[in-house]
Amino acid sequence: MIRVNDVVEIIERFAPPKYAADWDNVGLQVGKKDDIVKTVLITFDVTGQVIEEAQKKRANLIISHHPITRGEIKSVTTGDFVGSRLWQAANANINVLVAHTNLDTCLGGVNDVLAAELGLKDVEILVKREDQSYYKLVCFVPASHVKKVTDAIMEAGGGQIGDYSHCTFRTEGKGTFKAGPKSKPYIGESGKISEVEELRLETIVSHMDLQGALTGMIKAHPYEEVAYDVYRLEEPRPLFGLGRIGRLERPVNLGEGLKIWQKKLGLSNPKVCGKLSDKVERVAVCGGSGGDLIKIAKEKGAQVIITGDVKYHDAQLADYLGIAVIDAGHYYTERVIVPELARLLEQELEDRGETIKVLISEVNTNPWNDD
């Protein structure tokens, strides 16, 4: 038996919500975390047709890339574009889970799948979203409080190394101090040199989680003055970011590459900026809307960027900079994640011994007539 919250944890371990943009709305948008999952339907968008499809297929959990709402909800009414879908899903007892920009930016997410689909090698993140530095956090704790302090640091996001959580190292030792006359030491006496048994607790914390980990550690620690060290570590490979850049196995001219990529993505009539005879080898990609990454892609050495929703003036900038652009559309550059997400969830459920069906929506949610 698996519940909605179990699936939420699976998806969010792969695409952590903290990787989402500030303006985004990810996570469980409709439903109850303790509902037992019967069948899962994976989709690109949550439309009325998709909800009807879920009802027909007896799926009580929809996992969507695009959220129903990205802003604050002030009302839920059937005459509203957002409210009508929320109402429809809730009345059908269908849970809706969203993984949006967190799925765009994480390793193995939308952009990595898009890069692989287009045949790119030696793929790197095009733009890191923010400082991803890591720190070693060391503190000294009496054995009586080591669990409480450890839990506080872990709850703030510390101790995460890849797919492993709660990573720490502990060594026993003796600490000494002399408490001042106005102090109230947890162990020992004021005015005397005290020697106490302590544990040296070490863990790793990201830049994003450091302040929260320090706050939680100090709050959980029994000492008036907490002794701790913070060491900045050499930066590892970035864990998330916008877009990807890589190279083709062999250089091709833009026209030749266009034919290959059209077939791979199922495109009929993409917009192209650039000379079809120009050779390209280094390629940047950004699923969805990536027009604002054109200049960065050029600076990183890309001869072409494949993305969607490119504005007229962005294309003009690309022409001036001398980088080709293929506007393959928002839908076609991101829908590649749907079968991959289904595969990942199926594998995780299988590893847990679960036999829940994971279906891929058959509804085409693309609003444009591209054929």
Collapse the DSSP code of 42 into the 3-class scheme (helix H, G, I; strand E, B; otherwise coil) and give the result: strand
What tokens were used for 91?
């009345």
Over the stretch 47-93, which tens digit does the pLDDT of each residue have? Answer: 999 999 999 999 999 999 999 998 778 889 998 999 999 999 999 99
pLDDT over 80 at 162, yes or no: no
pLDDT over 70 at 148, yes or no: yes
Phi/psi of residue 225, each to 5°? -120, 115
Distance linking the first and last C-alpha atoms of the chain: 43
| Residue matched to tokens 């070490």 | 202
Over the stretch 286-302, which tens digit does the pLDDT of each residue have? Answer: 999 999 999 999 999 99
What tokens were used for 272?
């192209």
pTM: 0.77
